[in-house]
Amino acid sequence: MRGDRRQRSRGWLKNSVVGLALAIALPLGVSAVGAGTANAALDPSGFDFYVDSASMGPVKSRVFRAADGNTSRVVYALDGMRAGQDLSGWEINTDITHALTAANINVVMPIGGQSSFYADWNAPSSILGVGGGAGSSGSSSLSSSGSSSGSGAFQILGGGPGKSYRYTWETFLSQDLPNALSSRLGFSTTRNGVFGLSMGGSGALTLAAYHPDQFSFAGSFSGYLNPSAPGMREAIRAAMIDAGGYNVDSMAPPWGPQWLHMDPFVFAPRLRDANTRLWISAASAIPGAGDVSGVMSVIQGMPLEGLALANTRAFQARMMSLGANNVTYDFPATGVHNWNNWNAEVYRMLPDLSNNIG
């Protein structure tokens, strides 16, 4: 009986990986990650904040100040794989800044990092040694909605962020950006929060695991929290090709120290030992009210969320096996891989976030 359950579990994961590949391969021009209706509206309550990075050049963030003007309560909101170069998907597709700032939390939204997993990469993205020619401000097919205007497979040899230079997002988010926020705005560099969706979910946990003095809280929504699981690297490879034409091998060699550094399932003991407060969520992959913005968004969003759910459940089992009691898990009965799901999740997370930062 136990063997049967294991076999069914492996089969479900395999089917989920195949589903991801199918979702990515479906008609070009439709975003497979971060699906949903974009309002493409700049929020006038935020302002641009540029910080130099040694390898990535000037990097923009959007900053939204807490209602009471404090500088001690800070949260970073990380984007998904189709992160654009002008605005964060959080600003475009959600209203979370109003809720967070009203709760007296300063919000920092780093801009860019398409397909980066917010990691320090091994090398600039290239295929067979051939990379893109654009510099740090290189063009991208991304619109402000964070959606692709076509398949990223056509961008494999093109320019864009992270192709003529090496992504160093972990260093930027743990050193360059907090130091600049502190020196120029007085923001605290300790007991910050960080959360993200999909790619940004695993990135948030990575930052919290290796920089516990900076982050006392981390949230993952629909994150891929076990990228070393069977089939996951190739699923990520396909997703990164579609989201801008990036090569996973440039990010980290397979199953070496850099790759394992990015795997929450592997570094889970760090999160337990630091007693970092965690909010971990993935939905059921069953569409709910508000999810049906179009047939394709559901067809693509369901397998993507199913794969995220499998990864998130694996991480939950890992943390429970370690005796960790610093985690809140939320598994909504309905929801697919889209902004409607993630916007609602921030509201559910907000009280816990507010109680564990600053």
Separation in Å, CA 145 to CA 85, 87, 226, 276, 289: 10, 8, 28, 32, 22
Pairing of strands 130-131, 327-330: unpaired
Helix (H) or strand (E) holding 236: helix 232-242
The residue written with tokens 């396909």 in the block is 238
Our answer to whether residue 198 is catalytic in this structure is: yes
Our answer to whether residue 305 is catalytic in this structure is: yes
Of residues 13, 87, 20, 86, the one with CA closest to residue 241: 20
Pairing of strands 57-64, 106-110: antiparallel
Separation in Å, CA 34 to CA 79, 112, 166, 180, 312: 9, 14, 24, 29, 18
Of residues 185, 135, 181, 184, the one with CA closest to residue 160: 135
Catalytic residue among 53, 151, 216, 337: 337
Tell me the two tokens of residue 334: 């309905």
CA quadruple 190, 191, 195, 200: dihedral sign? positive
In whole angstroms, give the CA distance from residue 109 to residue 216: 18
In whole angstroms, give the CA distance from residue 75 to residue 105: 7
Catalytic residue among 91, 216, 222, 305: 305
In whole angstroms, give the CA distance from residue 22 to residue 239: 11
Q: For residue 230, how far is the Cα from the chain centroid?
A: 21
In whole angstroms, give the CA distance from residue 217 to residue 353: 7
On the 0-12 / 13-18 / 19+ scale of CB atoms within 10 A, 69 is exposed
Catalytic residue among 147, 198, 216, 281: 198
Our answer to whether residue 345 is catalytic in this structure is: no
Contact 322, 357 (CB under 8 A): no
Give the type of residue at 16.
S
Catalytic positions, written as ranges: 198, 305, 337
